[in-house]
Structure 1
Amino acid sequence: MSIRIAPTKATRAINLLRAVQNHPPTCPCHSNPSHHHNHRPSLASANASLSPRQLTRRLATPMDHSQQKEYAFEMAASSIRFGPGCTKEVGMDVKNIGAKRVMVVTDGVVNKLTAMKQVREALDAEGVDFQVYTGCRVEPKDSSIKEAIAVAKPYQPDLFLAVGGGSVIDTAKLMNLYTCFPEADFLDFVNAPLGKGLPITKPLKPLIAIPTTAGTGSETTGTAIFDLVSKRAKTGVAHRVLKPTLGICDPLNTRTMPSAVAASSGLDVLCHSLESWTAIPFNERVPRPSNPILRPAYQGANPISDIFSLQALRSTVKYLPRAVHDPDDFEAQSEMLLAATLAGVGFGNAGVHLCHGMSYPISGQNPNYKHSGYEVDYPIIPHGVSVAVTAPAVFKFTAASNPERHLAAAECFGVDVSNVKKESAGEVLSEALAAFLEKLGDQPRGLKALGFGSEHIDDLVEGTMPQKRVLMLAPNLDETNEDVEREQLRGLFEEAMSY
């Protein structure tokens, strides 16, 4: 007669752990990390041959997180209210939060529009004390951010209210941050290596964001971007506590966008969705944080961000041309505002990669280009233009990492991919992007159209190299060898000179 010994709780737990580790998720992207660069042995394969005692000992051994892949992802997004006319509710929101002193942040153009008129009326109706700052710069510089912070500090608001595009919302985020950390040096929280990249250790004041453009998704993200003039590149601060408490997305507020602004803003949505959809999976990112507070806002593609990113891509392809070509197409404008917010949730957690990493020196090293349709008195390459101009080259380069995902993206542009070979995925998506940009109209067809030449490539590469926060999520980019990485970036900039 045989006697069966009941397993102990520890043995059952170890068996369950093994079962989970040895049966990866069924999602075609996340279950096949070999589609992406920097493939390393999985935790499952490393542990499969160990006895229960050996596995218990390994799990109890202090871990060198710097060499371990990530194993978890977090989803963080602002509360969002969406609907035509909901701007009028903001006074009640402020009162419900209990705020007594409000810093309203906007720019000189938006300050004259209906959105700001409604904000003033809503705050007055609730008897809220508020001060309006109108000095925000489109595509902000570190100097304009510091000027805004200097205004906020003595006022000591208990709530910030941003009304405008991504530049305004990002400025308000940083006003909030440095008002709550008055003794901090400006570079303390700026992304490393351009700044110190220190973690933000306490909550900030509430921030309500009312977007008047349909592009950045800043109303739902913990990211604020600006031009660090001394380094001739864009950078910023990224942390979950920067997220607005509430994003009020009122489609009536985007009806005032000029066609050029609608196009550029929409191209930002396009690249947000494409880059977050094709970023390396969250469980391929290294290092694993030793403390949850150190987990970056940009984590890599994950099953939840995928849903938002892909839907935003589909909507952008469908509605952006309509929104640009017909200023009275309210349905298209509304759908683009919704797409911008969806993409914000997607990339705000998954992250972006090469289009954005390369865009920062493109904007920061502007040879003297001024995009038509922008009411500014200085040279400007709008953010959406700077990201989209490299997109055909970028996605041709990244496609080998995961052809299925790139073909799925091409399908969103209406391409029949049923008979396309995997090795052609990059070329197919690149051609679809180029055709889409051409049909959109008035878009520079490469870096040459912005005034860049081969003599600028070295500086553009060096301006991209410090953007580690996004480059670490780029498929196929070799971050283990800086010389190889530079050559890869050089090739991408050369390819992006014209399309």
Structure 2
Amino acid sequence: MSVRLAQTARQRAMGLLRAVQSHPSACPCHVCTSGATSAGSLSTLFKAVDHTTNRHGGRAMSAARASDIPQKEYAFEMAASNIRYGPGVTQEIGMDFKNLGIDRVALFTDKNLLNLSPVRVAVEALESQGIKYDIYSDVIVEPKDYGVRDAIEWARRVQPKAYLAVGGGSVIDTAKIANLFQNYPEADLMDFVNAPLGKGRPVDKPLSPLIAVPTTAGTGSETTGTAIFDLVEKKSKTGIAHRALKPLLGIVDPLNTLSMPAQVKASSGLDVLCHSLESWTAIPYCERTPRPTNPILRPAYQGANPISDIFSLQALRMTATYLPRAYRDPEDYEAQENMLLAATLAGVGFGNAGVHLCHGLSYPISSQNKGHQHPGYESVGHPIIPHGVSVAVTSPAVFKFTGASNPERHLAAAQIFGADITNAKMESAGEILSDALKEFLYVKLGDQPRGISELGFGAGDIESLVDGAVPQRRVLNLAPDVHSYDDGRLRESLAGILEESLKF
């Protein structure tokens, strides 16, 4: 009887894992070579389990066996905010805080949104429930470290009981950081910044409740525990990443994105595109090293895994279909709504799998801006290379570079963009995806910079851009093969990608 029960349990477990793993036919399974086996190698996993089953039906791996396993990662975790979607759900925010027993909140936004509908509706929702609020509207679009420090000082002075962020990724990320440091009153900004730029201190206690209301369809910050800002002195961006930073609730309200200018829609959507592609092509989670000695040390960005794959691939499909429509036709509400959903889906995907080269290179491109003022962003009041633009501008060269690492995944992505892969050769996968991206960016979408030279950079700037990218090992190491590179080979590879990205 115990044998039959064990067999039944085994069958149920395999069925569940296969259901989680059910990718489209173009999606190759994850196969790990580390001794820790992913869901893509189920039979090996269960053989290992069966081998360690004792005669009483127990599961126990001997100490000798365990010591033979290479110390690569063997597990992944999924974390995301609760999400509420629907036209008009912003009006429920006051009830949410009341249900939490919160009577005073800090409302974070930026000056461009302060008098627009999303903030107005949020304020009315708070007032309808008697929730008092203090407004911080000095958020810098594409945040700088001095702006983040100002927000921290304000939060420590005001001492809100909870946070409400209404805006794009810059607003949500700034609110996350203010929340963190209000709850760690003695900490310095660099204590929690990702290593090696900062100390990478783990967050070891709960933070105050944060409700995030995105007004752009791009960053997915309403789902993630990541907050990014510009470290001015280092001429590059950095950030803080920990699951504890993720909002308690993301309010995904399509009415809040209707006022986005066309170029903001394009830039935000390009961020979704690269979130999806980078997490889809990242190294498998079980190839990441080192294995954490404590679960609290497991990073938010873990590598591609069967659950993130589902979110990332669907977000990529939606972006390929709806972004050109949303950009070209402000009355195409179906496209606008689907891009907002795609951003949230991609946030769940990359928030757990991670991003890699496009984002790692984007940080110095954005930070070392020589004066480029992107169309549609004049109201921010300073020169700006929007995040989505800085990420996508190198993508044709990046995925040409990574193609050899997993040709099947690169071809599957190219097919989503409309490429005919019927007779495609595996060794051409990167070039095929690169060409498909150029077609999408410069023809289907149009009006996008055809290389970093159109953002003001020349060949003489490549060394400085590489200098700004190399410290981004947190994301660069998720690129296939790159995690094994020494600094010399990494610099050479990044320089090659940037040289190819000067002009497409």
TM-score, scaled to structure 1? 0.90
Task: State the one-letter code of the partner of 1:57.
Answer: A
Cα shift readout 1:191-221 (whole Å, capped 9, x = no counterpart): 0011000101101000000000000000000
Equivalent residues of 1:105, 1:168 under 8 A apart: yes
Cα shift readout 1:260-279 (whole Å, capped 9, x = no counterpart): 10000000000000000000
Quick check: 1:460 aligned with 2:453?
no
- Choose which of 70, 86, 100 in structure 1 pairs with 2:73: 70
Give SS of 2:114's match: helix
1:257: Cα distance to partner?
Answer: 0.4
1:452: Cα distance to partner?
Answer: 0.6
Equivalent residues of 2:359, 2:475 under 8 A apart: yes
Cα shift readout 1:96-144 (whole Å, capped 9, x = no counterpart): 1111110000000111111111111111110111111110010000100
1:32: Cα distance to partner?
Answer: 3.2
Give SS of 1:188's match: helix
Q: Distance in 2 between matches of 1:383 and 1:480?
A: 26
1:377: Cα distance to partner?
Answer: 2.0
1:55: Cα distance to partner?
Answer: 6.6
Partner of 2:439: 435
Q: Closer, same or farther in 2 for the Cα pair 1:114/1:496, shift >3 Å?
A: same
Quick check: 1:449 aligned with 2:448?
no
Equivalent residues of 1:69, 1:286 under 8 A apart: yes
Give SS of 1:111's match: coil
Partner of 2:116: 113
Give SS of 2:166's match: strand
Quick check: 1:420 aligned with 2:428?
no
Q: Superposition pairs for residues 308-347 of structure 1, below 5 Å?
A: 308-347=311-350
Q: Superposition pairs for residues 79-478 of structure 1, below 5 Å?
A: 79-374=82-377, 375-439=379-443, 440-477=445-482
1:299: Cα distance to partner?
Answer: 0.4
- Choose which of 50, 56, 62 in structure 1 pairs with 2:62: 56
Partner of 2:57: none
TM-score, scaled to structure 2? 0.90
Q: Distance in 2 between matches of 1:351 and 1:29?
A: 19
Equivalent residues of 1:30, 1:302 under 8 A apart: no
Q: Distance in 2 between matches of 1:428 and 1:471?
A: 23
1:476: Cα distance to partner?
Answer: 2.9
Unaligned runs of 5+ in 1: 1-5, 34-38
Give SS of 2:228's match: strand
Give SS of 1:293's match: helix
Q: Distance in 1 between matches of 2:30 and 2:339?
A: 32
Q: Distance in 1 between matches of 2:437 and 2:485?
A: 30
1:151: Cα distance to partner?
Answer: 1.0
Cα shift readout 1:43-100 (whole Å, capped 9, x = no counterpart): 779x98xx97997232465x99xx6111111010000011111111111111011111
Q: Distance in 1 between matches of 2:478 and 2:64?
A: 29
Give SS of 1:226's match: strand
Unaligned runs of 5+ in 2: 38-43, 55-59
Task: State the one-letter code of the partner of 1:412.
Answer: I
Q: Distance in 1 between matches of 2:29 and 2:326?
A: 34
Cα shift readout 1:239-283 (whole Å, capped 9, x = no counterpart): 000000000011010001000100000000000000000000111
Q: Distance in 2 between matches of 1:134 and 1:461?
A: 34
Cα shift readout 1:395-424 (whole Å, capped 9, x = no counterpart): 001011110000000111111211111111
Equivalent residues of 1:396, 1:430 under 8 A apart: yes
Give SS of 1:427's match: helix
Task: State the one-letter code of the partner of 2:424.
Answer: V
Q: Distance in 2 between matches of 1:201 and 1:360?
A: 28
Quick check: 1:486 aligned with 2:491?
yes
Root-mean-square deviation (CA, aligned residues, Å) is 2.5
